[in-house]
């Protein structure tokens, strides 16, 4: 949704209707995960992907019908589905896709849909939110947006359903998991609700706006990271040098890192190999539950860092989390090559590999 929003707004701003296709169920070796989305405009534009190319054409046709009728539709593709032989999901997986017409989301218009507006505000603010949509049942298309504190906007049209979804959100949102939920009540009503978790982007915080930081921020940005550069030396941390940084900060690293409220989805790379910056940064970073913590510098530099940290009461166990030497051993020495080594190590750690 985050990546599609600029396109949706641009198309709608030009007066073109837009439909949204979402993978709500995937089993077998499905090419795209649950929650993958594609936006389709009346004018024939497409952005995003629901299958990696296998069924986009068929989904496009469905989206055009949806925009004409104003009514949502289901499409499913898989080995046993007749359509599969026609369009072909070569990977052998099965996916179910929900296609819905989108209300106006343009910034200058009055908000047409409160739950969607709330979701977009949360995305912009990098806060976790879950969008629940009735994809089958008497209140088809009803939406509700919930945040991690349990607050919600909108209703799915059935009090018990709302409370069930609130219950499930408390479990799904921290786990960053989306899910199709199917249920029926004593009053005989039956619903299917898609619970779409929208976690904030993973963050990469680079301390030290050095040469290596420039390609590293660029690569991280293309992987979908929210990127932050911290360096109190104002000549280094400039927008001219870092056009891909979401935030540039010239505070001292300890102060800056504390303000960022680092969490389990945060990656921190210390690149200055200057103890004046590294030690205050590490004092804050080592006290947070980070996804990744790496520090550039020779063995000698790192030994000095460890000694300084030991003086400040950090144990060997505490400091064992620091990746040094930073990055996978790819052998390259150019700034871009080192940046690739670092980003590769981040990807490995993110997926549970221990480099």
Residues lying near other proteins in the complex (CB under 8 A) are found at 24-25, 27-28, 34, 74-76, 78-81, 94, 96-98, 135-136, 160, 164, 167, 179-186, 190-192
Cβ at position 326, least distance to other proteins in Å: 37
Alpha-carbon gap, residue 142 to 113, rounded angstroms? 10
Calpha distance 161→344 (Å, rounded): 43
CA distances for 163 relative to 15, 154, 167, 197, 236, angstroms: 37, 12, 6, 17, 51
Shortest Cβ distance from residue 307 to other proteins (Å)? 46
Q: Residue 191 or 225: which CB sits closer to other proteins?
A: 191
Q: In angstroms, what is the minimal distance from the CB of 164 to other proteins? A: 6
Q: How far is the CB of 94 from other proteins (least distance, A)?
A: 5
CB 193 within 8 A of CB 134: yes
Q: 78 or 115, CB closer to other proteins? A: 78
- Angle 335-350/213-222 helices, nearest 10 degrees? 40
d(CA 67, CA 102) in angstroms, rounded, equals: 9
Q: In terms of CB distance, is 192 or 202 closer to other proteins? A: 192
State how far the Cα of 230 lies from the Cα of 139, in Å rounded to an integer: 48
Where is 143: in which H helix or E strand?
strand 143-147
Is the Cβ of residue 158 or residue 323 nearer to other proteins in the bound state?
A: 158
Distance (Å, rounded) from C-alpha 31 to C-alpha 93? 7
The reply to whether omega before 88 is within 30° of 0 (cis) is no
Q: What's the CA angle centered on 91, arms 90 and 93, to 5 degrees?
A: 115
Whichever of 24 and 270 has its CB closer to other proteins, that residue is: 24
What is the DSSP code string of 31-100? SS-TT-EEEEETTS-EEE-SSTTSSHHHHHHHHHHHHHH---EEEEESTTSHHHHHH--TT--EEEEEEE
Residue 136 or 350: which CB sits closer to other proteins?
A: 136
C-beta closer to other proteins: residue 183 or 275: 183
CB of 60 to other proteins, least distance (A): 18
Minimum CB distance to other proteins, residue 74 (Å): 5
């Amino acid at each position: 949704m985050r990546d599609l929003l600029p396109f949706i707004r641009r198309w709608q701003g030009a007066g073109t209707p837009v439909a949204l296709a979402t993978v709500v169920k995937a089993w077998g070796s499905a090419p795209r995960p649950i929650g993958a989305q594609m936006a389709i405009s009346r004018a024939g534009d497409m952005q995003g992907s629901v299958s990696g190319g296998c069924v986009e054409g068929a989904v496009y046709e469905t989206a055009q019908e949806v925009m004409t009728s104003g009514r949502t539709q289901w499409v499913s593709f898989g080995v046993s589905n007749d359509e599969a032989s026609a369009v072909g999901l070569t990977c052998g997986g099965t996916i179910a896709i929900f296609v819905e017409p989108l209300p106006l989301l343009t910034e200058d218009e009055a908000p047409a849909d409160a739950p969607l507006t709330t979701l977009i505000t949360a995305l912009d603010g990098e806060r976790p939110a879950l969008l629940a949509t009735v994809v089958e049942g008497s209140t088809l298309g009803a939406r509700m947006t919930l945040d991690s504190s349990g607050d919600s906007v909108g209703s799915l049209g059935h009090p018990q359903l709302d409370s069930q979804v609130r219950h499930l959100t408390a479990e799904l949102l921290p786990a960053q998991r989306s899910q199709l939920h199917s249920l029926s009540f004593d009053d005989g009503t039956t619903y299917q609700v898609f619970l779409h978790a929208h976690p904030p982007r993973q963050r990469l915080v680079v301390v030290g706006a050095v040469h290596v930081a420039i390609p590293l921020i660029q690569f991280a940005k293309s992987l979908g990271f929210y990127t932050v550069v911290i360096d109190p030396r104002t000549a280094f941390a400039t927008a001219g040098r870092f056009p891909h940084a979401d935030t540039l900060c010239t505070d001292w690293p300890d102060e800056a890192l504390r303000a960022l409220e680092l969490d389990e989805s945060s990656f921190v790379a210390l690149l200055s190999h200057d103890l004046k910056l590294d030690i205050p940064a590490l004092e804050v970073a080592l006290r947070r539950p980070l996804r990744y913590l790496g520090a550039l510098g020779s063995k000698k530099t790192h030994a000095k860092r460890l000694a300084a940290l030991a003086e400040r009461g950090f144990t060997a166990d505490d400091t064992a989390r620091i990746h040094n030497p930073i990055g996978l051993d790819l052998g390259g020495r150019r700034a871009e090559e080192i940046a690739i080594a670092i980003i590769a190590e981040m990807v490995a750690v993110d997926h549970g590999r221990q480099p």
